[in-house]
Amino acid sequence: MSNQIIKPDASKLSVPTREEAEAAVRTLLRWAGDDPTRDGLIETPKRVAKAFQDYFRGYNDDPEAILQKTFEETEGYDEMIVLRGIRFESHCEHHLAPIVGRAWVGYIPNGRVVGISKLARVVDAYAKRLQIQEKMTSQIANIIDDVLKPQGVAVVIKAEHHCMTTRGVHKPGTDMVTSRMLGIFRDNALTRQEFLSVIDD
């Protein structure tokens, strides 16, 4: 199965103006039953538009470019590298509700290593988009595999989804766990278990 990354064609997207975005927020405020012209809500459309720029800044990030700078002077290091508990905030593409969780990202290098901050940046690049957790898990693992060409990649994500904790079935304290194992992590049970043993609760 190919891990080819399919990127959306941004040229086909018609991006609304800031004014159109703020008008849409005012419409939603009226639909919710409030008056967007009252004192407490007058500045809300501007604030929401600004917040959206932060929530979804990952659309402006290129995860492949983030991983391009690597280091080869590793004295032959070829054991597991794991960055644990990378906190992230994302949003569910079905309800725009927050997804808050942590990611564990591991790989076994094949001559090249990447700065650990770059792994955290890749997590954020995908988290700061409309997401489902399963897709995000695969995206992180696939791009590391494609760019670094390591012996293997492992990604585990644990997250709480507000679309089911603060609405719908209302089950607070429930989290979801997803994983993606590639290369030696998929093929070798001992390697996979070694990675899973460093996962915190």
Active-site position among 20, 94, 134, 193: 94
Contacts for 138-142: CB closer than 8 Å, 24+ residues apart: 138/180, 139/5, 139/63, 140/103, 140/105, 140/180, 141/180, 141/181, 141/182, 142/3, 142/5, 142/180, 142/182
Active-site position among 91, 131, 151, 161: 161
Active-site position among 133, 139, 151, 162: 133
Instruction: Indicate if 95 belongs to the active site.
Output: yes
Instruction: Indicate if 170 belongs to the active site.
Output: no
Report d(CA 84, CA 91) in Å as an integer: 21
160 and 190 in contact (C-beta within 8 Å)? no
Helix (H) or strand (E) holding 161: strand 152-161
What amino acid is encoded at 121 in this protein? R
Tokens (6 digits) for 131: 């997401």
Active-site position among 89, 160, 163, 194: 163
Instruction: Indicate if 92 belongs to the active site.
Output: yes
Instruction: Indicate if 163 belongs to the active site.
Output: yes
Active-site position among 64, 95, 160, 194: 95
Instruction: Indicate if 162 belongs to the active site.
Output: no
Active-site position among 93, 131, 139, 162: 93
Tokens (6 digits) for 117: 């901050």
Active-site position among 64, 92, 160, 194: 92
List, by residue number, the catalytic residues.
92-95, 133, 161, 163
